[in-house]
Amino acid sequence: MKVLVIGGDGYCGWATSIHLSNRGFDVTIVDSLVRREWDREHGLASLVPIASMRRRIDEWSRVSGRTIRFCETDVTDYAALCRVVRDGAPDAIVHFGQQRSAPFSMIDHEHALRTHLNNTVANLNVLWALHEHAPDAHLVKLGTMGEYGTPNIDIEEGFLTVEHKGRTDSLPFPKQPGSFYHLTKVSDSDQIAFACRTWSLPATDLNQGVVYGTATNETELSPALANRYDYDHIFGTVLNRFCVQAALGHPLTVYGGGTQTRSFLDIRDTVRCVELALEHPARSGEYRVFNQFTETFAVGELAARVAGVARGRGLACEIMHLANPRTERESHYYNPVNTNLRALGLEPTRLSDATIAGLIALAQARATRVDLRLIPPRVEWRPAEPNEGAPAVA
């Protein structure tokens, strides 16, 4: 199967690209390398050094004997994207090529606009390029569980059966995005569903939870294949942040009360989910949604898990609660459904103490690369509250 991986230089995209290649897919990466520019712009860096794209691909060819092609192309450039799709004649497109940070999208108007242009406009370009040059190709698009928000009902997989005034219909699940980034993903989903109805495109929308971990079978083959380990206040994810803080003896910073609950999955499950979606494609005109996660955790629960593992390694580890910089519910019902991928054969990888210990150990080994100034939240999108007290330490 010929697959274009848009955004293949990113965290999920790189791991997926080499996994698919290792599984025998014919992979071409399409990426503008803009994420590297955003790191430079904001003074950020992956805890684990990331090789250049050319070095990554050359090393993959050396250790695997397989070839991945690379097109440095910005998918907001419609003409350039069309050339790639027309010349590549893909059987499927895996679309990861988006600005994926809620804090980035909330920095100011410019960053919100850049997120919109990079995500919403590029997604529209992908749909039109498929319509005009590869109408039978299967689109596998990375969405987010954050599209749903935290409704007071179970979160179904994309659709909800509604009874109203004696009539019943299956409608898109109501969305309550929590940032301008999440809002662009809602727009993406609407665009894709419309294209499927109108042009009979086949598409799978993977609403993914928060991903953790750095290692897959493929990234472990060589240091030059290493994946990102982001811990900063813009692109860093909560488990990464906690593990870096634990490694350096810094208090684990929990936003608010820590009762916010979210969906999570291991990066090894991410690549497997994409593979399953490709191996079992949507039908012509079908728009389907898979909730891509394996477990749910409250933020405070994660902090306690990390603190326990850190203390077991002889590290002093405290938990500090900060005023929540985000507008979000802290106490809420959260019960998402994830049956579709399991039905296709996904065997979930559970978060283990060994995984947490590995992330802490990796942070210890790279401690000289950590800049603790990049961890405290600097982007706020909630109304200011008067007389906020000092942080509480537990």
Q: Can you tell me the distance from the alpha carbon of 253 to that of 321, in angstroms, rounded to the nearest whole number? A: 6
Q: Can you tell me the distance from the alpha carbon of 294 to that of 305, in angstroms, rounded to the nearest whole number? A: 17
Longest dimension (CA), the chain: 65
In the chain, % helix, strand, coil (3-state, to 5) comes to 40, 20, 40
**Neighbour order of strands in the sheet with 92-95:** 69-72, 26-31, 2-6, 92-95, 138-144, 203-208, 287-292
Active-site annotation holds for 204: no
Q: What would the two tokens of residue 111 be?
A: 């960053």
Q: Which of 115, 144, 204, 253 is catalytic?
A: 144
Cβ-in-10-Å burial (0-12, 13-18, 19+) of 357 comes to middle
Active-site annotation holds for 2: no
Q: Can you tell me the distance from the alpha carbon of 301 to that of 363, in angstroms, rounded to the nearest whole number? A: 21
Q: Which of 185, 261, 270, 287 is catalytic?
A: 185
Active-site annotation holds for 181: yes
Q: What would the two tokens of residue 98 be?
A: 């988006």
The answer to whether 213 and 270 are in contact (CB under 8 A) is: no
Q: Can you tell me the distance from the alpha carbon of 35 to that of 72, in angstroms, rounded to the nearest whole number? A: 13
Q: How many CB atoms lie within 10 A of CB 247?
A: 25
The answer to whether 16 and 31 are in contact (CB under 8 A) is: no
Q: Which of 148, 181, 255, 287 is catalytic?
A: 181
Strand partners, 138: 92
83: three-class secondary structure by DSSP? helix
Q: Across the chain, where does the E strand assignment appear?
A: 2-6, 26-31, 69-72, 92-95, 138-144, 159-164, 167-172, 203-208, 210-212, 252-255, 261-266, 287-292, 295-298, 319-322, 392-393
Active site positions, annotated: 144, 181, 185
